[in-house]
Structure 1
Amino acid sequence: MPDPTPPRWLKPMNKVFMGLMKLGLFGGDGPVVLTVPGRTSGKPRSTPITPMVVDGVRYVVSGFPGADWERNARAADTATLTTGKRSETVRMVELSADDARPLLRQFPTLVSTGVSFMKRSGLVTDGTPGEFEALAGRCAVFRFDPA
């Protein structure tokens, strides 16, 4: 099965969502804005993401294989995570498929909003831990390390 492509409404909706985040409508362990330099232009590119925390370490799962932010993150040395008015520079380390499997199994429990998104995209059917584990090597998983 070919990888799904993001719907056309996603980029405009992400801009609206990031505007709401700047107003402080979300906080705590919810969504953050990830900003990485564009791999070609070098210009900052931002997208909302929802990290998950496992054993005190933050991770993010790409909702679409080959997403722009994912490819930009691979090419960048550092990235910025912003919550409200607070920003933090991090390094993003992509995990191997083997290292990603146990984290992907936890994704449905830790990022429930991501489950419905990935169901709608066709990446999973039921949203079970086994379905998410099977995405290892297909959907990138990154660890956030201090820069």
Structure 2
Amino acid sequence: MVSELDLFTRITNAIVKRLSRFGISAFGAKELVVTGRKSGQPHSTPVNPVRFDGGLYLVAPRGQTQWVRNVRHTPQVVLRSGRSQDSYTVQELQGASAVPVMRVYLKKWAWEVGRFFPEGVTAKSTDDEIAAVIPAHPVFRLVRK
């Protein structure tokens, strides 16, 4: 049985994805297109990119999802909004280098995705507390091709 939260998330994702296809960005959300590691076919999902220190990043608030596994297998992605699409190579950040990005992400997007993080982990958490959740919530830098 699907929980109310899961149903809400599925409906919200479908709406954001559809809006992105029409070029309407809900709070900066984009559509991420990745190549399936098994099928080889393109798959898309809505994401919340965040800018930090001149770079563009993705955080996986829901953890080790299909898009995360696909990006690790084939680190080439497209961010799409309407007719605009940009191609990127993805680099996963580890440890302390991911902490400031995660902090900015939580500050901007916690209202939407905070429930996916352990209770008490916020943008105001210590570096050690944030570093502790990064293995479960990967951070990726997008480098334009």
Instruction: Work out whether the TM-score is over 0.5.
Output: yes
Residue matched to 1:86: 84
Residue 47 of structure 2 corresponds to residue 49 of structure 1: yes
Residue matched to 1:3: none
CA deviation string 1:83-117 (max 9, x = no partner) = 221111110110112211122122233x2xx3123
CA distance in 2: counterparts of 1:119 and 1:10, whole angstroms: 13
Residue matched to 1:38: 36
2:122 paired residue among 127, 134, 146: 127
Structure 1 segments unaligned to the other structure (5+ residues): 1-5
The answer (yes or no) to whether the contact 2:106–2:114 under 8 Å persists in 1 is no
Residue matched to 1:16: 15
CA distance in 1: counterparts of 2:114 and 2:75, whole angstroms: 32
Deviation at 1:133, TM superposition (A): 4.4
CA distance in 2: counterparts of 1:72 and 1:36, whole angstroms: 7
- The one-letter code matched in structure 1 to 2:144 is P
The answer (yes or no) to whether the contact 1:119–1:125 under 8 Å persists in 2 is no
CA distance in 1: counterparts of 2:48 and 2:114, whole angstroms: 16
CA deviation string 1:27-75 (max 9, x = no partner) = 7x71111100011111111011111111210001101121111111111
The TM-score, its normalising length taken from structure 2, stands at 0.82
Q: Equivalent residue of 1:139, what SS? A: coil
- How many residue pairs get aligned? The number is 138
- The one-letter code matched in structure 2 to 1:14 is N
CA distance in 1: counterparts of 2:36 and 2:72, whole angstroms: 10
1:126/1:75 CA distance change after superposition, 3 Å: closer
Residue 67 of structure 2 corresponds to residue 69 of structure 1: yes
Query: What are the residue-to-residue correspondences of 1:88-103 with 2, within 5 Å?
Result: 88-103=86-101
User: What fraction of aligned residue pairs are identical, expressed as a percent?
Assistant: 26
CA deviation string 1:117-140 (max 9, x = no partner) = 333235343633315444222210
